[in-house]
Amino acid sequence: MRYIIYGANRVAKDFLYIFDELDIVCVVDDEWDGKTFEGYPVFREDHFREKTADEQIILCDFKKETKISRLNQAGFVYGTDYLYEEDFFTQLDSFQIPKDRKLVMWGTGAIAKWFHEQYENYCFEFYIDSYNRAENFYGKDIKKPREIRNWEEYFVIIGVEKDREIKENLRDLGLKEYVDFAGYQSITGMPSELLRKTIFDSSYYDLKCNTMQNHLEILRDGHTRCCCTTFVRQNLDNIFEKDPHALWHSNLHKVMCLSTENRTFSFCDKNLCPLFVAKEKEEIKKFEEPYHKITEHPKTLVLGYDSSCNLSCSTCRKELHFAEGTEQKMVNQITKKVQEEYLANCNFLVLAGDGEVFASPDYRKIYEAQNCNPNYIRLLSNGILFTPGNWEKFIRGKTGKVMLTVSVDAATKKTYEHIRRNGNFDVLQKNMEFAADLRKRGELSYFRMNFVVQRENYQEMIPFVRWGERLNADEVFFTKILNWGTYTSEEFSQVSMMEADQITPKPELKEVLAHPVMQSKIVDLGTIQFAHKIDDIGIVENYYMWELEKRGGKLFT
């Protein structure tokens, strides 16, 4: 079938970006003042008189009523002569929920509640939970798995974060993933659902960020994302379900990239990402610059799949944790895949977004691998193991620039050793002197110290800046504390130094932020947008590169 696009507008531009393999004849729009649109000839509406039987009209627009009326008056019939752009969306999905199945959700916790409130069009027969003793959830019965006999009548959406055990239980019952059940992220991450969210989003932000086109994060259990996990919560596909090329060039990734190309940033957390400081949402704009294509391979690779760590920080976990058993087996499998399939094409490597880079045997396998020699490496560490011996093992054979970011969160021994449990402030200070010396000699290209602001440490922000200045650090970076499931809502409201809106600092924090030392050239307020220095942002090729170059100069050349 050949197609005529009805409407020269941003919806049509987005549609053509995603469905670039359709046989498009032309574009029709009386209001378009150019001769071409996205490379296709543009005609007036009277061109519809020449439509042939093997041509179908695709109506593209935010509001369709007027166009529909004109097509109907011309004698065209919906479904035969013309379709809507959204009629094509489900072609992007790798699976469909069977229409003859009743929906049930496994889970009655925070994820299930969030899903229920965000996706009201999903109606569940009942909920499944092995532990919840309540009788109902959102007015529907809660059943235990053993109470269900006729599984074939239902399609199960798993509404919990750690779903590996539940999936195994369902497989043991003879059920198949994507036929009889799927995780909630597979549902919310359907390309059709995500495309609908961004293509009909009329927002516009005066910002150009190409991060999603070149950035891949590999996380626990092989999950992936195409931007910083703090700012974008939507997963891409799993590395165990698709090979690197299929994952990177998937419909899902393409839709995510569209959200930055059309400047809606529909999947970005604007309250957290520093790129949106002083960026107000505007009405949709008509612009003609071309949309970028996705790079052949991810050039930036961020690894955060091993939570093994020598510390048990209060903001992160309750106790020390090192991968073992089934978890360690999974970590080993991811390491093998990274080494064999992802590492060689990496230009900028970030180690490690989860756990401690020098405490994980698997992260060591990565940086000691023969094919690990990217042009740029960023180390994320808690600093306790950043010793001359570990540095020597790490740097052996490396020729690229190395940048170090150390999470500290305090400026005194008492506060440090209470927040960063199992840490030793005396050892940390010694190692920070070593890092400062490496920076001075040029062996480190960049040195940054991080500080997560919370009730217990906010009064140490000023001495922390002064410590960074004494070390000649390139940057001291402050972020507001986030709740990663470590605290109850009540506990978090006491720990956080932000008001309930999570944007406005509490009065005592405002007082600290107003101190002259907080205007030091090395200070960056990160996710604390109040009083944040407004950066002159042009084109951001990659967020992590931009973040480092704000204070570190032209590191990536």
pLDDT category at 317 given cuts 50, 70, 90 is confident
Taking the C-alpha atoms of residue 150 and residue 66, their distance in angstroms, rounded to an integer, is: 48
For residues 59-83, give the mean pLDDT.
97
pLDDT category at 335 given cuts 50, 70, 90 is very high
User: If we measure between CA atoms, which residue out of 501, 532, 556, 484 comes closest to residue 273?
Assistant: 532
- Give the orientation angle of helix 251-261 with respect to helix 10-18, to 10 degrees: 150
User: Which residues neighbour 247 within 8 Å (Cβ) at sequence distance 6 or greater?
Assistant: 224, 236, 237, 239, 241, 253
Flag whether pLDDT at 56 surpasses 80. yes
pLDDT confidence of residue 534: 65
| Secondary structure of residue 412 in the 3-state scheme | coil
For residues 221-236, give the mean pLDDT.
93
Residue 416: phi and psi, rounded to 5, are -60, -50
Going from the C-alpha of 238 to that of each of 220, 349, 421, the distances in angstroms are 10, 19, 33
Is the Cβ–Cβ distance between 532 and 274 less than 8 Å?
A: yes
Domain 102-188 has CATH 3.40.50.720: yes
Tell me, yes or no, if the two domains 2-89 and 300-535 fold the same way: no
For the chain, what are the domain ranges?
2-89, 102-188, 192-283, 300-535
Flag whether pLDDT at 557 surpasses 80. no
Q: How many other β-carbons are positioned within 10 Å of the β-carbon of residue 403?
A: 24
- Percentage of the chain exceeding pLDDT 90: 81
For residues 454-474, give the mean pLDDT.
98
Residue 533: phi and psi, rounded to 5, are -70, 130
pLDDT confidence of residue 531: 62
CATH classification (class only), 2-89: alpha beta
User: If we measure between CA atoms, which residue out of 148, 109, 145, 143 comes closest to residue 126?
Assistant: 143
For residues 288-313, give the mean pLDDT.
93
For residues 530-555, give the mean pLDDT.
83
CA 102 to chain centre: 31
pLDDT confidence of residue 524: 92
Domain 300-535 has CATH 3.20.20.70: yes
Tokens 């940054």 belong to which residue? Answer: 448
Residue 498: phi and psi, rounded to 5, are -110, 150
